[in-house]
Structure 1
Amino acid sequence: MSALAAVLVATVLGQGYYSPEEAQGLFQQANEAFYKQDYAAARTGYEKLLARGFGGPDLQYNLGTTYLAQDDLGHAVLAFERSRREGGEAPDLEANLALARARQLDKVVGTGPEGSFLQRVVAATSGNGAAWGFLGAWLAGCFFFLLFWLLRPGKRAWAAVLGGLLLILSLPAGALLAAHVWVHETLHEAVVIAPTLRAREFPREEAKVSFEVHPGLKVRVMEDAGRYVRIRLPNGLEGWAEREGVAEI
Structure 2
Amino acid sequence: MSDAATQGYYTAEEAQAVFQQANDAYVREDYSTAQESYEKLIAHGFGGPDVLYNLGTTHLARGDLGRAMLALEQARKQGARSEDLEANLALARARQVDKVVGSTPDEAFLPRLAAATDGAAAAWVFLAAWLLGFALLLLRRVFPSARRTVVAVLAGLCLTAAVPAGLLLGAHIWVHQNVHEAVVLSSTLVARELPRPEARSLFEVHAGLKVQLLEETGKYVRIRLPNGLEGWAERDGVAEI
TM-score using structure 2 length: 0.92
When residues 114 and 182 of structure 1 are mapped into structure 2, their CA distance, relative to the original with a 3 A threshold, is: closer
**Aligned residue type for 1:125:** T
| Unaligned stretches of 5+ residues in structure 2 | none
Report SS of the residue matched to 1:92.
Answer: helix
Residue 211 (1) aligns with residue 210 (2): no
Gapped regions of structure 1 (runs ≥ 5):
1-11
RMSD in angstroms over aligned alpha carbons? Answer: 1.9
Residues 1:75 and 2:67 are matched in the alignment: yes
The answer to whether structure 1 residue 111 and structure 2 residue 90 are counterparts is no
Deviations 1:92-140 (A, max 9, x none): 2111111111111111111149951222221221111100100110011
Q: Secondary structure at the match of 1:156?
A: helix
Match of 1:3 in 2: none
Q: Which residue of 2 aligns with 1:48?
A: 40
Q: Distance in 2 between matches of 1:162 and 1:101?
A: 47
In the alignment, residue 201 of structure 1 is paired with which amino acid?
E
- CA 1:144 to 1:132, structure 2 compared with 1: closer, same or farther past 3 Å? same
CA contact (8 A) 2:191 2:231 kept: yes
Distance 1:113 1:196, change over 3 A: farther
* Equivalent residues of 1:15, 1:52 under 8 A apart: no
How far is 1:37 from its partner?
A: 0.8
201-210 or 73-82, which deviates more: 201-210
* 1:57 partnered with 2:49: yes
User: Where do 4+ consecutive residues of structure 1 move more than 4 Å?
Assistant: 12-15, 112-115, 151-155
TM-score under structure 1 length normalisation = 0.90
1:145-194 deviation per Cα after TM superposition (whole angstroms, max 9, x unaligned)? 11124446565233222212211111000000001111111101110001
* Contact 1:130–1:176, Cα closer than 8 Å, also in 2: yes
After superposition, residues 194-233 of structure 1 pair within 5 angstroms as: 194-233=186-225
Structure 1: distance between partners of 2:233 and 2:7: 32
Alpha-carbon distance in 2 for matches of 1:155, 1:99: 58
1:141 to 121, 127, 133: 133
Among candidates 163, 174, 180, match of residue 171 of structure 1: 163
Q: Which moved more, 1:32-41 or 1:200-209?
A: 200-209
Return closer, same or farther for 1:38/1:14 CA change in 2, 3 Å cut-off. Answer: closer
Q: Which amino acid aligns with 2:26?
A: F
Q: CA deviation at 1:15?
A: 4.9
Q: How far does the alpha carbon of each residue in 1:24-79 deviate from its partner, in whole angstroms, 9 at most, with x for none? A: 10010011111111111000000111111111111111101110111100000111
Separation of aligned partners in 1, 2:137 and 2:45: 45
Supply the distance in 2 between the matched residues of 1:90 and 1:154 (Cα, whole angstroms): 48
% of aligned pairs identical?
61
Q: Give, in whole Å, the separation in 2 of the partners of 1:26 and 1:14.
A: 12
Structure 1 CA distance for aligned equivalents of residues 106 and 229 of structure 2: 14
